[in-house]
Every structure is written in structure tokens, then in C-alpha cells.
């Protein structure tokens, strides 16, 4: 596949975005990215606690991670503001464009972390410990790990795993190994797709915006995506058919949800390879109607199967 047309690097001086759709502070918290925190609810659903009082605790845990992830986005935008000004779209972010001051952004981030971790402690000590680990991991990622090839995408994937584990700890249910494996593989699949999109879209300017991209190649990323794609489908298929799963849910119908998983993965690959999308998986999920409908159908099928009895 050939690379897309190279774009000219803009001036490093702040560029004020025209007619922002959200106030600068709210835009910097990236509320559309909070969809990633739905992984916190995985334990609730697959522990069959969705229609119990545990749902309120799980929603509180979800809110905590929305606050913490919003704070992390603010800190990342502060650290990456110079590189963001070299990106065709990220240069319009409030901090990079000068709409939001660094001092105010840092203050809001600290307040959100303090409030988020305080609320996490009220939910439970194990949940709070996982939330602290999540913040520390992403802080280390921003300072060091994002500059290490392969470790960068693995760290992003582990962040998703911590969300899922924290959700299970919040409502005090067993942490399934299948939950960890499937979450890790799916998150790694999306992270690699994002790296590939950045590599091809930015062309030779990729290393200026994200230096670690110089360590990748289109061929390497394609091979890694192929391995993770096959592993994700295989892991989910084995989960649906495992004796442990059948005994837990008292049904052997979960394999019927596999076509939805296959379609979702294939649809994402189509958008990534043919439509050259995938730079922002959350936006892609929310804006692509077939992908959104398929996910809703998968969730409905899962709920009917594991709660139908």
C-alpha cells in the first residue's frame, strides 16, 4: 500500500482553531474518548451483576476512570504541545493552539486526579490501588515508555486491562483470565491500527510528530496486526466454548456471538486499510454506523444469552 500524500508541516506558533465545537477545557478532557472506560463495566456484565445494586458501584468506578483519563489527556497535551503543532489535526487542540493555558490545564488535571483517587478510595482499597497504578503507568508511558518500540503499544493495551480489572475489583467479583486476555488482545489490535494509520498518514514527517514511529514500518505493523487479529478471534472463540464458560452461564450458546466479533474486526480492518481511517478508534467507533450497530447487536446477543435464564 502506498503512503498518502505528504502534508506540509505548519508553523510551530499556536494556531487558534475556528469555531470549536466544545469549550476548550471540556474539549481537552476528550469526553468522546471516555468510551474506552466502558471496559470498566466488563466485570459487571460477565459476572451477571448487571441487574443488581452493584451497577451503581460500577458506574461510580466508570466515572472515576473518566476523571482520571481526562486528567491524563490534559497532562499529555501539555507535554506534547510542541509536537502536536506539527500535526495536521492535533495542532488545533486547545493547549497546542493556545486556547487553553498550560497553568489552568495543569491545575485542572491535578484536581481531577485528587478527586478521582479520593473517590476510588471510597469505593474500595483494591480498586483505588488499581486506579493509582493506572495513573502511574500512563505517567511513565508519557515520560518514557512511549519512546520504546513495541513497549509503547503494549503499555496502551495494559491500560485497558487495568480498566477491566479495576471494574471487577470495584464490585468484588472474580477476575476472569479470559477477561484479561481478550481485553489485552483487543486493545493491542486497536493500538497497532492507530500506529499504522499515523505512520502512513504522516509519511516522512511521522518521526517529527512521534519519534517512535521511525522504529516501525508498514510491513512490520501489518504483520503484528495480522498476528493480533488471529489471536483475538481465537481467544474469544475459545472463551465462548470453554467448559468453564458453559458451566458459569449454564448455556452453550455464546459461540453464536462470534459472527458479530468477526464482522467488527473485519469492518475495522476495512476502514483501516481501504478507507485509511483508524487514527482515532473511539471516533471511528462512534461515527461508523455499521460498526456501531454491530457492536450494539453483539451486546444485545450477549445479554440475552447470559441473562436470559
Q: Considering only 2-11, 28-37, 109-118, which range has the smallest mean pLDDT?
A: 2-11
Q: Provide the CATH number for the domain around residue 126.
A: 1.10.357.140
Nearest residue to 193 via CA among 105, 286, 273: 273
Supply the angle between the helices 218-241 and 258-273 in degrees, to the nearest 10.
170
Spatial contact of 178 and 235, defined as CB atoms under 8 Å apart: yes
In a domain, residue 7? The reply is no
Report pLDDT for 206: 62
**Among 175, 192, 226, which residue terminates a domain?**
175
Cα distances (angstroms) measured from residue 226 to each of 222, 250, 291? 6, 33, 20
How many other C-beta atoms lie within 10 A of the C-beta of residue 24?
A: 19
How many other C-beta atoms lie within 10 A of the C-beta of residue 156?
A: 21
Task: For residues 236 and 132, state if they share a domain.
Answer: no
Q: What's the average model confidence in pLDDT over 128-142?
A: 93
How many other C-beta atoms lie within 10 A of the C-beta of residue 241?
A: 13
Task: For residues 266 and 208, state if they share a domain.
Answer: yes
In a domain, residue 140? The reply is yes
Burial of 306: CB neighbours in 10 Å, binned 0-12, 13-18, 19+ = buried
Q: How far apart are CA 302 and CA 288, in angstroms?
A: 21
Report pLDDT for 24: 85
In a domain, residue 57? The reply is yes
Q: What's the average model confidence in pLDDT over 25-31?
A: 87
237-248 confidence digits (pLDDT tens): 999 999 999 999
Task: For residues 147 and 196, state if they share a domain.
Answer: no
In a domain, residue 80? The reply is yes
Give yes or no for residue 84 having a pLDDT over 80.
no
Q: Give the domain extent around 48.
A: 24-175
Spatial contact of 84 and 77, defined as CB atoms under 8 Å apart: yes
| Sequence-separated (6 or more) residues with CB below 8 Å from residue 85 | 10, 11, 12, 13, 14, 15, 91, 96
Q: How far apart are CA 235 and CA 233, in angstroms?
A: 6
34-80 confidence digits (pLDDT tens): 899 999 999 999 999 999 999 999 999 999 999 999 999 998 888 87
Q: What's the average model confidence in pLDDT over 100-111?
A: 90
Task: For residues 143 and 197, state if they share a domain.
Answer: no
Count up the domains in the chain and report the number: 2
Q: How far apart are CA 158 and CA 136, in angstroms?
A: 12
pLDDT tier, 216 (very low <50, low <70, confident <90, very high otherwise):
confident
From the centroid of its chain, how far is CA 183?
Answer: 10
Give yes or no for residue 114 having a pLDDT over 70.
yes
Report pLDDT for 16: 37
Spatial contact of 142 and 149, defined as CB atoms under 8 Å apart: no
Report pLDDT for 88: 73
**Among 175, 200, 232, which residue terminates a domain?**
175
Runs of H (alpha helix) within 80-171: 81-84, 94-97, 102-123, 125-143, 151-170
Task: For residues 164 and 204, state if they share a domain.
Answer: no
Q: Considering only 7-21, 117-131, 273-287, which range has the smallest mean pLDDT?
A: 7-21
In a domain, residue 50? The reply is yes
Handedness of CA 59, 163, 189, 32 (dihedral sign): positive
Q: How far apart are CA 138 and CA 113, in angstroms?
A: 13
Runs of H (alpha helix) within the chain: 24-29, 42-46, 54-79, 81-84, 94-97, 102-123, 125-143, 151-170, 177-202, 206-209, 218-241, 243-249, 258-273, 281-287, 289-307
Task: For residues 58 and 167, state if they share a domain.
Answer: yes
Task: For residues 93 and 128, state if they share a domain.
Answer: yes
Report pLDDT for 22: 64
Task: For residues 182 and 170, state if they share a domain.
Answer: no
In a domain, residue 12? The reply is no
Q: How far apart are CA 247 and CA 252, in angstroms?
A: 9
In a domain, residue 17? The reply is no
First to last CA, the chain: 49
Task: For residues 42 and 96, state if they share a domain.
Answer: yes
Q: For the chain, what's the residue count?
A: 309
Task: For residues 96 and 189, state if they share a domain.
Answer: no
CA angle 70, 75, 76 (to 5 degrees): 95
Give yes or no for residue 181 having a pLDDT over 70.
yes
Task: For residues 169 and 40, state if they share a domain.
Answer: yes
**Among 148, 175, 202, which residue terminates a domain?**
175
In a domain, residue 6? The reply is no
Task: For residues 197 and 57, state if they share a domain.
Answer: no
Amino acid at each position: 500500500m502506498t503512503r498518502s500524500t505528504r502534508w506540509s508541516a505548519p508553523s510551530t506558533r499556536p494556531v487558534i482553531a475556528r469555531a470549536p465545537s466544545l469549550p476548550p477545557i471540556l474539549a481537552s478532557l476528550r469526553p468522546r474518548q471516555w468510551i474506552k472506560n466502558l471496559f470498566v463495566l466488563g466485570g459487571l456484565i460477565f459476572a451477571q451483576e448487571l441487574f443488581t445494586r452493584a451497577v451503581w458501584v460500577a458506574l461510580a468506578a466508570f466515572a472515576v476512570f473518566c476523571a482520571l483519563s481526562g486528567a491524563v489527556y490534559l497532562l499529555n497535551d501539555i507535554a506534547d504541545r510542541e509536537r502536536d503543532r506539527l500535526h495536521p489535526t492535533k495542532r488545533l487542540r486547545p493547549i497546542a493552539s493556545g486556547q487553553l493555558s498550560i497553568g489552568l490545564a495543569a491545575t485542572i488535571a491535578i484536581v481531577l486526579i485528587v478527586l478521582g483517587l479520593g473517590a476510588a478510595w471510597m469505593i474500595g482499597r483494591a480498586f483505588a490501588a488499581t486506579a493509582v497504578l493506572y495513573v502511574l503507568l500512563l505517567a511513565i508511558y508519557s515520560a518514557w515508555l512511549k519512546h520504546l518500540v513495541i513497549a509503547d503499544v503494549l503499555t496502551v493495551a495494559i491500560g485497558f486491562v487495568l480498566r477491566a480489572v479495576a471494574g471487577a475489583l470495584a464490585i468484588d467479583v472474580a477476575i476472569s483470565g479470559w477477561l484479561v486476555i481478550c481485553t489485552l488482545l483487543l486493545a493491542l489490535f486497536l493500538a497497532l491500527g492507530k500506529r499504522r494509520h499515523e505512520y502512513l498518514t504522516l509519511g516522512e514527517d511521522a518521526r517529527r510528530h512521534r519519534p517512535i514511529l521511525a522504529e516501525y514500518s508498514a510491513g512490520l505493523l501489518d504483520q503484528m496486526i495480522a498476528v493480533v487479529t488471529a489471536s483475538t478471534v481465537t481467544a474469544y472463540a475459545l472463551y465462548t466454548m470453554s467448559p468453564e464458560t458453559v458451566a458459569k452461564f449454564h448455556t452453550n450458546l455464546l459461540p453464536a456471538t462470534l459472527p458479530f466479533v468477526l464482522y467488527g474486526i473485519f469492518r475495522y480492518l476495512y476502514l483501516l486499510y481501504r478507507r485509511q481511517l483508524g487514527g482515532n478508534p473511539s471516533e471511528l467507533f462512534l461515527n461508523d454506523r455499521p460498526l456501531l450497530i454491530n457492536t450494539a447487536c453483539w451486546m444485545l446477543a450477549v445479554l440475552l444469552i447470559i441473562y436470559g435464564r
